[in-house]
Amino acid sequence: MTSEVRSSEPLKLLVDPPAAGAWNMGVDEMLMERAAEAGTAVLRFYEWTPATLSLGYFQNAADRSGHEASRTAPMVRRSSGGGAIVHDRELTYSISLPTSHPLAADAETLYRNIHGTLLAALAEFGVAARLNETATTPFAGEPFLCFQRRAVGDVLLDRFKICGSAQRRRRGAILQHGSVLLAQSPAAPELPGIAELAAVPSGGRITSSQLVDVWTRIWRATLSPLEPYGELWAEDQARANLHASEKYGQDAWTNRR
């Protein structure tokens, strides 16, 4: 995999334990603010507990009633667009960059570079995924679930989507986050994951921690240095909690559409 952009500017690396949806979205919001205000660039990996349905910013909350399998899962609304995602047996990443950072120069290039490092990481497990190169046009009645939609640059395994990403820009910063489907979830049985689609030579399944280890190594070799972020600073944690409790945990936000 050859990257179009290489930066000598390091990113902070944050690997979080599984957490509730509102908290996860609150942390991403806080990191985007830090990117805009302080120029802090952060690559974050995280998981969700319990299994949670996240709506894209423009989706109607009432549409979730049509997806029976995930109806009992808690729901949160993302600040980015795209389709709904069942966050269960998957790994989520986010990258928060000031717009001055070399990796943020072009939205499409950022999308492809990150997905390119994922392809290289999966290849080390013997998983031959590829980027989708077929353009699609949004239309009325688009599938509810993100992984049933197709956009240029999505990561495909066989004919199934196993990773998609979405971006949000604000003055001074860009946030991109995406989900890697490691295995099929009971809350989305129509979506096979890597475990169902590929035989890993070493046997068993790719765990989230294994993927993070390989992905970050490839990231360092191809995109930029990574430095430990360490524990969330008290100020950062307080701000993330504020976003979680006063925005992402509120029905007014989740059901705004």
pLDDT attached to residue 3: 45
- CATH class of the domain whose range is 11-254: alpha beta
Residue pLDDT, tens place only, 57-115:
999 999 999 999 999 999 999 999 999 999 999 999 999 999 999 999 888 899 999 99
Nearest 5°: the CA angle 195, 197, 202 is: 50
* Angstrom distance (rounded) from CA 182 to CA 68: 21
Average pLDDT value for the chain? 92
Sheet-wide strand order for 90-98:
130-131, 155-157, 160-170, 173-181, 90-98, 42-46, 11-15, 226-228
* Angstrom distance (rounded) from CA 116 to CA 108: 12
pLDDT attached to residue 257: 85
pLDDT attached to residue 222: 94
pLDDT attached to residue 39: 94
pLDDT attached to residue 5: 66
16 pLDDT band (50/70/90 cuts)?
Answer: very high
Task: Name the amino acid, one letter, at 182.
Answer: L
142 burial level (CB within 10 Å; 0-12, 13-18, 19+): middle
Of 27, 95, 119, 146, the active-site residue reads 146
4 pLDDT band (50/70/90 cuts)?
Answer: low
Nearest Cα neighbor of 209 from 125, 111, 134, 127 is: 125
Q: Which of 10-24, 126-140, 191-205 has maximum average pLDDT? A: 10-24
pLDDT attached to residue 142: 84
- Cite the beta strand spans of 47-199 per DSSP E: 52-55, 75-77, 85-87, 90-98, 130-131, 155-157, 160-170, 173-181
**H/E element holding 35?**
helix 21-38
Residue 80 tokens, joined:
């980015």
> With left for phi above 0 and alpha for psi between -120 and 50, is residue 141 left, alpha or beta?
left
Nearest Cα neighbor of 8 from 227, 229, 224, 222 is: 224
Residue 202 CB contacts under 8 Å (≥ 6 apart), including other chains: 125, 126
Residue 247 CB contacts under 8 Å (≥ 6 apart), including other chains: 25, 26, 29, 253
Share of residues in the chain with pLDDT > 70 (%): 95
Residue pLDDT, tens place only, 26-47:
999 999 999 999 999 999 999 9
Average pLDDT over residues 117-124: 97
- The answer to whether 163 is a known catalytic residue is no
pLDDT attached to residue 2: 41
